[in-house]
Amino acid sequence: MRWRGLVGPLLLLLAWSASAHYRLIDPFFFPEPLTTLRALARMLAHGTARDVQATVLKTVWAFCLAVAAGVPAGLMLGSSPRAYRSVEFLVDLFRSIPPTAMFPLFLLLFGIGDAGKISVAAFSSGVIVLFNTAYGVLNASQARIRAAKLMGAGRLAVFRHVIFWESLPQTFVGLRTALSFCLLVIIVTEMFIGSSVGVGRAIIDAQITYDIPGLYAMILLAGLIGYALNRLLALAERRLVRWS
């Protein structure tokens, strides 16, 4: 059972190796997996580890800001259906705006440095956190809420001990989506807004210099970063929401 998780990566490697071996795509633009892994090791040994650190740090900052703003706002809106309905249009509106459309505005407000990249990622993912948290509160089990009230629990106690915990599974859905979204926006801003360090910058550098194995290596590395961050959040979810 423990080995089942390796089936997907093995199938990917087999398909990748077969495609490269039989030259289904021009070998110059589609290197073999071993060549890509060698390029990844070379780049990590010559400064890419610093790019990874910078990207992860910006992603974590953006995610923490999104959580700090989105979770309390979602809890407050979700606890009042009338309040949620009154701002539902705004939530859906900002959730539907592509983050790339917000780049110019945040660049004007915060500049082209890390603050601008972090702020646009935090804003875009914060809306996701808010929406999912509010949805979790709105869909809390009414039977448990009534049971708590019948046992004499006040409004605050019901919120703290029932509604908050009932909303956690849906909140974590939003958190995991927001974390992936933060990484996506940070890498895109590093690629197209400009950055002296970061995985996005390394991807663009590899493309400009036609370092094709390095390009594949950086894309693979971006996926591995996202997977590692998602697994850490999944571990936290299992600890906090064991009953779900």
pTM: 0.85
**Looking at residue 244, what is its pLDDT?**
62
In whole angstroms, give the CA distance from residue 166 to residue 159: 9
Any domain includes 9: no
pLDDT in tens for each of the 244 residues of the chain?
567 767 777 887 888 788 777 777 777 788 888 888 888 888 888 878 888 999 999 999 999 999 999 999 888 888 777 877 777 788 778 778 887 788 888 888 887 788 888 999 999 899 899 989 888 888 776 667 677 777 776 777 777 777 778 788 888 989 999 999 999 999 998 888 777 788 988 899 888 988 899 899 999 999 999 999 999 998 888 888 776 6
Any domain includes 99: yes
Any domain includes 18: no
51: CATH = 1.10.3720.10
Any domain includes 137: yes
Residue 188's domain spans which residues?
31-240
**Looking at residue 222, what is its pLDDT?**
92
In whole angstroms, give the CA distance from residue 211 to residue 141: 55
Count Cα atoms within 13 angstroms, Cβ side, for 22.
6
**Looking at residue 243, what is its pLDDT?**
66
Any domain includes 5: no
In whole angstroms, give the CA distance from residue 211 to residue 189: 21
Any domain includes 6: no
In whole angstroms, give the CA distance from residue 124 to residue 181: 8
Q: Give the N- to C-terminal CA distance of the chain in Å, as an integer.
A: 22
Any domain includes 149: yes
**Looking at residue 77, what is its pLDDT?**
84
**Looking at residue 67, what is its pLDDT?**
94
Any domain includes 222: yes
In whole angstroms, give the CA distance from residue 66 to residue 119: 9
pLDDT cut 70: percent of the chain above it: 92
Within 10 angstroms of residue 105's Cβ, the number of other Cβ atoms is 13
Residue 66, both tokens: 């999104």
140: DSSP letter: S
Q: How many domains does the chain have?
A: 1
Each residue of 39-83: pLDDT tens digit? 888 888 887 888 899 999 999 999 999 999 999 988 888 877 787
Helix (H) and strand (E) counts in the chain? 11, 0
